[in-house]
Structure 1
């Protein structure tokens, strides 16, 4: 069995926090493999100077930057409340560019000009003991990797010289060791693995050339002021971006969204009352999908598109969930001080289980321009909806708290027993593809006949699809960690019922 290189950083603060941010300025967690690599580079440069670095540490770093993205074992976390603090704005560089030429700035800076307000939103690390303060980065070491033995001692020394990860206040102690696969599997914490798909957490990772790019950036920083004036330091561009997902995090469904437009270009776009027409719009979209899939190149047309076998019986068993979901999306309207309001249906979304992206791409190319037909009349046309649409993002974003815009149909009878109802609702989340560990860790779960959102009607007023029955409630759920949509739960999840939007 191959060994695993485990690089560990342990937070030293009694109440650990991490201040690193992603390219977009959002809080980063877990700390990226690139951030770890930069910390090791910094430690190596500080420990081995000039020619000693080139002969000792540099070969090790060149080897490390070419490793595949590691697994990360990290403590539980939460994102802290944002706050603002005053920091230097580094604008003295503009004055210094004048001074190096022996001139004075045209407009001398006042002390107030040299401060700016910075928004800080640290990640708070949840720990119960010293063991849980640690992050572990696991790199598999192939049996054929003869270079590792050459670099092992230098790498361990460099890792033990790491003192910070993220900002200067994020003090850590570093270490490195070789573990067996069994010992690596027993490390405490959430396990993040490299994964493909749009629902993943994007983290930066080093690649071939990153070390050289870091050296060039440092050189540019040292020479940013010269007789020719100030030269901005260019950002680091030589790195990879790798998707990560927790073991307990459900993979988001593949999807494509459409706006419903009018058949008559001179008429206003149609809208449909959600309680009365949600099931109908879902049926129209399913029919349109079936029409464009007549030349379906995959082996499961009836089950995937229509949810039944070739002879018309309902699909059952382990693969029953391998089918399209047709989800009308009631508009979420912003109404000033009155907040948000759930409105009529003007958009629809078709979703497929994780790993079936090729089927979504098939209909993405063919559904635009298709008519939604009912009673031999076209009710509207499907047109591609950009991912940037604000309403669509409320259904597809990454969020901890979600509430229904159409009610959940219970997967059984609750006998008006709250404990039994809670078990049925949790079962509905498991049936919808959530890992049992994610469902068990839900921090808030509430249901009631009245909607949790303004504009949502009583749950009993929503028309049920054919052959579906059961009690239905509006639901509000808060997960322990953010979950990415689209999210639909319950017996009607394939036909527009039990659809959630992010709060």
Structure 2
């Protein structure tokens, strides 16, 4: 066991709820406590001349990286009583006003502020990792980091942190909603994950700030020609004219949006794995002949295969065509086609080895066999070759996969997650969003992320899945060998738009569910043509992005 202890010295906690500025956060989110440790690390950077202190500082960075890769911790805490929240009018730290109004008591532009607090019956909180233990190489560094933490949340929320002995750690109050159990979540808490420290470092902007103050000190100490030279270098590097009251580069407020659902320890109940609207019993066609094609040819292959199916199936039923007899789109799940490519393994290059047919779970097997038999079997009952004409890409022939031990890429159980399912899935082909996001990711990153995750949640519910416990987005897939979500070099082409319509956004997704999921998992508006195909990943709590481009380059 490994745990971190937290004692609120004043008997109350003052921190603002992430989603409600008028509500106090309680219990403290694990991500907030990690940020407090990181702040202690950033604010105590030693000079490079002090080699011993600098080595210890580097050890603290490695300890934080170890900590951010642990699973979400359990928590022990007691409920507190929330104080009434009132508006308090305070003078802001606005140094652009005239010198006469610099003194706070004489400022007239006071602004409303709130300071939500929770009074604590027990001021102790514990973060508990049941199956983990701090390596000896990190233990001393973690103890130093704990001593550096003086507050969690508002500056008035003074704390003491330490590493308790295992026998001193009480039983957890809440635990992460486990893979095999589920109860209604009592709270959803923000947690750290892989890459959090580097993200906080970029937001803290320490390098730019240190360079600014070093340059200012050098200018103020110089005279004559040397001072003019330093001022010119300063203005060239920062792009602003030098003046005495120039503000340093800002530190940006970090936003950690990775969350975990928590439940009381005595409310875990057994549940069955979740399933999608598609049957896990896939029809797999293996490539017999034809040119090597990558995942970028997904649209052409799925379109040609759908055409071959409809050619051998007259009249074409609604569960295959996806359209009602009057031509209107079907409201029921229908046949989905997707590629089976070599991804997620060492030396994976994304080349397609076959195609899969995902049948609607609600269809009877007799009806499915009657509709597809003329495509898959010859009149004498032998496996028939399926020929796909792909235009400039050439011609493919496919055959029903019936080998006892097919390659991993063509194994039904590995595609669908096996009989027990998987809690963690990531896209092989990018998901096409069902609607256009209104927020701009360049200027409204947090709002855009929230909007897109809501779209993904709706897509999961549309195919029968529960709301994911965690969601992450990227232009790069988590599976080695899969192309990027954007068109271009080593990228995935946009899904063709309908006549008169515009192309929709597409993104790679990483999903973790609180219950095991049996696939196949196909998300978004392109799910019936191979877009939004997800494959299982190892069940891990942190979002462990590995180098996964064909050029072995990761873009976290």
TM-score range, shorter chain: 0.3 to 0.5
The structure that is strand-richer by fraction is 1
TM-score, scaled relative to structure 1: 0.44
